[in-house]
Each structure stands twice: as structure tokens, then as C-alpha cells.
Structure 1
Amino acid sequence: MKVLQINVVANSGSTGKISEKIGSLAIDKGWVSYIAYGRWYNPSRSTLIKIGNKFDILCHGFKSILCDKHGYGSHKATKKLISTIIKIQPDIIHLHNIHGYYLNFELLFKFLSTYGKPIIWTLHDCWSYTGHCVHYTAINCQKWKVQCDHCPHLLSYPIAITDNSNNNYQKKKTCFTNLKNLYIITVSEWLKKEVEQSFLKNYPILKINNGVDTKLFKPTSSNIREKLGITDKFIILSVATNWIKGKGLKDFINLAQRLNDTYRIILVGINKIQKVSLPPNIIGISKTENVHELIQLYSAADLYISFSIEETFGLTIIESMACGTPALVYDSTACRELINEKVGKVIKVKDLNSAIDFISKVKSLGKDFFSEACRNHILQHYTEEKTISNYISLYNQLLK
């Protein structure tokens, strides 16, 4: 059996690592695994297929920015990919993120509508059913339920200076609802309920949560406190790829101003401009893909906080709990699904008083009061093995 996955990256970032693990288990089961990707990659057990080149991505990016036509470029690259698919003849095609300036969705879905084998599409964000954005919770936009137009979120990824959201919405709706053999996977219950209100609602929609490698993410000894000179501080940690508006940077700054000198907040993923504006009790660390450094930070922290108001899952939250660290999250989008009263706290958005109350509780009881429950919670519900096994089981079911 052959499986082909398509994603913007290969064995890099959260979506790339998920596709890598799926491919690895498929290989272990005797399958042949291919991963087609558009941009960054790391070495893979699967056979990698590069889609396009840097020039294609650059041209596609300009078209997206100038005309709000994300997913309309990369014609030659997509045609070449289709030729490769015809040659390989995979038994299952598994889509992940098809946005990212590397793929023409009209050409791809026109081909897929004629391909008589199962197509799986894992949605890691909301781009597939909106006229522009990948998230809309921060601006409370509901236009995607009926018809996107006059987009209020053009300056969010994928950034555009003109508005083509009405046409984008219609084209996506036409292309993405023209398959008879498509199965939608969402990574959370929240995203599943959103998709069920979109134009994709008539497809089978299944939930498969993301998972964490619990053999890697586990309580680990660390000298991070010594390196940062905060051995006697209560450490609050948060991690983001990019600290965009919806991630809650301002909330952390406001929180820091209300905490005394016995606390330190560590924010990972901070850029140079943001770092200058941080108060003295916030330590800004640039983005890192060093997994071992992250594990040390998760393990050293007393509490993990996510002030994000738009998450389709919340991978860093379960990574921190796998390392024995309790978590506090906002009651928004998918984050609340990951928490119960034994492992952390869910509070209302912007309710810093409740945040401070829980911080005080953790400081009083001690992190160890929560650690075993956190670890067991992840082992029971959010292991990588469970996630990947669910995908392989789905492959087998569809082929039967």
C-alpha cells in the first residue's frame, strides 16, 4: 500500500512532525510512504517530494499580498505534483496544510475530484472554509458561516493589501465541495463544531487529537534556572511560534505589572522588537526548534499559561503537562478541552484576577501537587502513539 501526504513543511514544525510520524508508522506497517512539501524540511524516513522552488514561492507570495489570491499561484509546480501523483498512484492521499505559497488549490482539487481513491484532509486551522484568514476568533468574525466579504482581517496571515475574500470564499466552496471521496479530520472538538457550520459540513468529519511523544516530553532535570539567574523565583512559562495579537502578549505584560519580584515570566518565541518593550520581570527568548531546550523549560517552570484566544488545539499546553507542569488557559477555542481541575485551570478571557488567584494557589501548594496528575492526564488522552495509530486505523478502514 502507498500513502502520499501533502503539507507545507516536512518533518519541521508541528504539522510536519505529525506527517513524519504518520509516515514512519505506515512504513513500520509495511506501507510505502511519500511526503510532498513546499518549503522547509528535515531528513525523513518517507520519500520526500519537493513542490516547486524558491522562485515559485516568491511569485506566489507577491500574488497573495498584492491581490489576496493565496492558493492561486504555483501552476507549474502543482501540475508537476499531479504528474507525480499519477505516476505513484497512492492508495490514500492525505492533505495537511495546503496553504503557504506553494500550491494551487484549484488545480489540485480539480484533479482530486477525478481521483477515485480516498482523500483525507486534516485541518490544523480554519483557512479551508474562510475567504482569507486562518483564524477569526480574535476579531469575532462570523462571515465564514454564510459568505466572506469586506474582510476585516486582511493584515493577518496570509497578509494582503486588497480584498478578494468574496471571490476566495466562492472558489474554495466550489473546489472543496466537489469531491465524493473526501474525509475531514479536525484536531479538536472545537474545530469539529466550527467545520460542521461551514460549507464542508456535508463531508464525514472526524476528530483525531494531536498527541505528544511522552518518551521525549517528560519531567527532566535542568539547569535553566541557574543559566537565567532565577533559581529562587516562581516561573511562569508560555511558548508561541509568533506572538501575534491573539496570543496574548499584552495580557502577559499586564500580568507582569501585577506580580512582585518573587515571580518571573518566560516567553519563548519573542522577536527583537517585542523584546525591547518587555518589563524587567519578563524574560524573552527567541523562537527555538531545539526540543531538548523546550523540555528543560517546561520541566523547570512552575506553571504554564496560555493567554491565546485562538487555538485549534494547543500543542504546547499538552507538552508542558507531559513534563509535569500544570497549565492555566483562557476559556476560548480549543484550549479549554485540554484542562481539568486536577491539572490546571480554565478562566474567562482577560480575567487576570482569576489568573493571579490560581498562580497563588500553585505557589502555595507547590508544583509537585499537580505533576503526577498532569503526566497521567497526557498518558491517558494525548499520546503520540494514540494519535498516529488512529490515523493508520482510519487508513485501513477506508481501504476496506
Structure 2
Amino acid sequence: MKILLVNFVCGIGSTGKICVDLYRGLTNLGHECCIAYGRGNKVDDIQTYKIGNNLNTLLHVVENRFFDNHGFASRKTTRDFVEFIEEYRPDIIHLHNIHGYYINTEILFEYLKSKSIPVIWTFHDAWPFSGHAAYIDYVGDKQLPQRNMHFSERFSYPKSFRDNSAANWKKKKKIFSDLKNCTIVTPSDWLKKMTEDSFFSECDIITINNGIDLSKYEKESENKRVNEPAKKNILAVANIWEKRKGLEDVIYFNNQLSDDYKFTIVGKVSKRLPSGITHISRTDSFDVLLDLYREADVFINPTYRDNFPTTNIESLAAGTPVITYDTGGSREAINDNVGFVVKQGSKKEFIEKIIEVKKNKYVRDSCKLQALKYDKANMIKAYIELYEKSLE
């Protein structure tokens, strides 16, 4: 098979890493693969096609700021990409995030509809069926919004001075919903249900959980950190600590608990943190992050909008229990043996669970056993089976 993967980044972030994992899984089995991406740098040993450049991204951002047309700029760049697809002649096109200021979805889908190439489309969020945002909630009687429901949504990703969400929703419905020979994949059952309730309801929709490389978690740590034995280590990790990730809740937990609890936050933070919180802005070292997971007594994820957080799986693979809000698909990897799921926004209950959780050998073994379900080998196998089925 000849597979073309399309995503806004390659090798970084959860979606970029998933694409590289799929690439290597496919090429190791003798298939040909290429990753087309729009932003950032490529991975050296990966066959890639760069969609546009920094100027293209900047112009797309500017257009969106003034016209709220995210996903509908980058016209010439996308026409060039369509020419590349014609030359590459893939058997399957596997779309991931097609938002991120790099591609014109209208031009891309006009081309896809003119061809008989099977399309797999993995939804990593709700952007394909929202009028603006990547993360949305039901409104009213289990209805999905067809426009921004609050003024503040304009200033969440993708930020815009104008609200064109109602028109965007209609445009997406027209462009996306009648693509033939397309299978939609969601990483969580929660997003699958939401997709089924959207204008994609007539499409084939399946769940394939994201996976991680569990072999990396088997080696012993080479850099043992010295912790204060009397303290309980609480870890929270996000790439960027935006509002939906629950940073204010983590700060609240830190302020409410005694000095016996040591909080560590990993990820980009735009505000000053209390002196009692250890902040690691970011780390590209897997070994450093693994040590942090292992040394934590509990990993907390008070997220308010999420799909299927890989950080939950990473913590379990390191043998550390997880406490999360009942948000999106965040609960789906957690059972009573490996952590707690708390009603969204219930800070008091969350604190009670932090106090209650205990990390012992039984818990560590249970966490690692639960993580086995999310080995990337299972994810790759499921996608290859889907590719083969799509070509029948």
C-alpha cells in the first residue's frame, strides 16, 4: 500500500507523534508512506512533503483574525499540494488535523470528491463539525451548536476579531458531509458519539484509541531524582496550559492542600505560579518526563475540554494512578483500580481523591496492566486493517 498522511505538524505534539508512529509501523511492514505537514520541522528519516511555509501560516493567521475563516485560506499552497497528490498517487489518504493555519479545506475536498481515493479521517477534536472552536459542548437537549454560543469563544483557538461561526458551520457541512468512500476515526467513544450527532451522522465512524510506545517504559530510570520522602508528589502535564486544561484548578488544589503535598506542573504557562509549585516549562527529553511520571504519587488531569488525553496513558504506563474530571474521553482509560474520575468542576471531591489515592505495588502493577490496552502496536494494527478494508 501507498499511504499519504496529512497533519499540521510532523513528529511533535500528540498528533504529530501519532503520524510518525503510523509511518514507521507501515514502512516496517514494507508499505510506502509519506507525511504531508504544514508547520514546524520534519523528522530526518521520514519521507515528507511540506505544505506551504512560515509566510503561508502567517497570512492564514491574519486572514482568520479579521474574517474568521480558519481552514479557508492558504489557496495557492493547497493547489500546489493537490498537484503533489496527483504526482504521488497514493492508494489511501489519511487525514488527521486539517486545521492549524496551513491548508484550504474547500480546495482539498473539491479535489478529493473528484477522485476515488479512499479517505481515512481521524478526528482529534470537534473542529470539523464546529463553527469555530476545536472543542465544543452540547447545548440544550443534547444538540450540538451551529455557531459560537458565547462571545468569549471568538478569542479561543482559532482567535478571531469577527464571529463568522454560523456561516463556517454551513460551509463545513456542505464541503465535508458528502465525501464518498470516507471512514471517520475517533480516538474516544465520547468523540464518536458527538460525531454521530453531527452532520457526519451518515458516515462510517469507528473508534481507534491513540497508542503509545510501551517499550520505552520498560527500561529503568538512569537519573534518579531525590525527593522529600514525607511529601506526596502531585504531577500535572500539558503542552500548553490554556484555560480548558484546568490550570486554575491545579493552583486551587495547591493552595488548599498542606505543605505535605508537592505540586509539579510541566508545560507552557502564561502566568506566574505560586511559589509552592515547581514549574518545568517544557521538556523534549522522554527520560526526564518518564522520571517525573514515575516519581509522582498521582497524576492529575483536571481538564474541562478534551478528547482522549495521551498523558493519562503515559502516567499509567509509568505505573502512576490518574485522577481526572469526567470530561470528554478523559475517563475512558481510567477504572477503579488505576485512579478516580471526578465530576467536572468538583474541586472539593478532587482534593479528597488526591488525599485518598495511594501508590503501592498493587496500584503500580494495575496501572501498567491497564496501559497495555493502549500499546501503539494495537493502534497501528487497527489502522492497517482499516486501510486494507477500505481498498476492498
Task: Look up the equivalent residue of 2:93 and give its one-letter code.
Answer: I
Q: How many residues align?
A: 391
Task: Look up the equivalent residue of 2:304 and give its one-letter code.
Answer: I
CA contact (8 A) 2:321 2:359 kept: no
Match in the other structure for 1:234: 232
Which of 370, 376, 381 lines up with 2:369 in the alignment?
A: 376
Match in the other structure for 1:39: 39
CA distance in 1, matches of 2:379, 2:364: 23
CA contact (8 A) 1:326 1:367 kept: no
* Structure 1 residues 31 and 222: alpha-carbon distance in aligned structure 2, compared to 1, 3 A threshold: closer
Cα RMSD between the aligned structures?
1.9
CA contact (8 A) 1:37 1:51 kept: yes
Match in the other structure for 2:383: 391
CA contact (8 A) 1:184 1:205 kept: yes
Match in the other structure for 2:243: 245
CA contact (8 A) 2:221 2:287 kept: no
TM-score by length of 1: 0.93
Structure 1 SS opposite 2:235 = strand
* Structure 1 residues 262 and 151: alpha-carbon distance in aligned structure 2, compared to 1, 3 A threshold: closer
* More divergent stretch after superposition (206-215 vs 38-47): 38-47
CA distance in 2, matches of 1:188, 1:175: 24
* More divergent stretch after superposition (322-331 vs 216-225): 216-225
* Structure 1 residues 150 and 237: alpha-carbon distance in aligned structure 2, compared to 1, 3 A threshold: closer
Task: Look up the equivalent residue of 2:205 and give its one-letter code.
Answer: I
- Aligned-pair distance for 1:243? 1.1
CA distance in 2, matches of 1:332, 1:219: 32
Q: Does 1:290 align with 2:285?
A: yes
CA contact (8 A) 1:150 1:163 kept: no
Task: Look up the equivalent residue of 1:371 and give its one-letter code.
Answer: R
* Structure 1 residues 6 and 40: alpha-carbon distance in aligned structure 2, compared to 1, 3 A threshold: same
Structure 2 unpaired stretches of 5+: none
CA contact (8 A) 1:20 1:44 kept: no
Q: Does 1:198 align with 2:198?
A: yes
CA distance in 1, matches of 2:305, 2:48: 32
CA distance in 1, matches of 2:229, 2:218: 21
CA contact (8 A) 2:298 2:359 kept: no
CA distance in 2, matches of 1:162, 1:329: 34
Q: Note the alpha carbon deviations across 1:328-382, whole angstroms, 9 max, x for none.
A: 11112111111100000111122233223322223xx444331000000111x11
CA contact (8 A) 1:224 1:297 kept: no
1:89-128 matches, cutoff 5 A:
89-128=89-128
- Percent identity (aligned): 39
CA contact (8 A) 1:131 1:167 kept: yes
Which of 294, 298, 304 lines up with 1:309 in the alignment?
A: 304
Match in the other structure for 2:214: 214
Structure 1 SS opposite 2:23 = helix
Which of 345, 352, 355 lines up with 2:347 in the alignment?
A: 352
Structure 1 SS opposite 2:41 = coil
Structure 2 SS opposite 1:298 = helix
* Structure 1 residues 310 and 288: alpha-carbon distance in aligned structure 2, compared to 1, 3 A threshold: same
Match in the other structure for 1:258: 256
Task: Look up the equivalent residue of 1:245 and give its one-letter code.
Answer: K
CA contact (8 A) 1:151 1:165 kept: no
Q: Note the alpha carbon deviations across 1:193-215, whole angstroms, 9 max, x for none.
A: 00000011110001000011111
* Structure 1 residues 244 and 218: alpha-carbon distance in aligned structure 2, compared to 1, 3 A threshold: farther
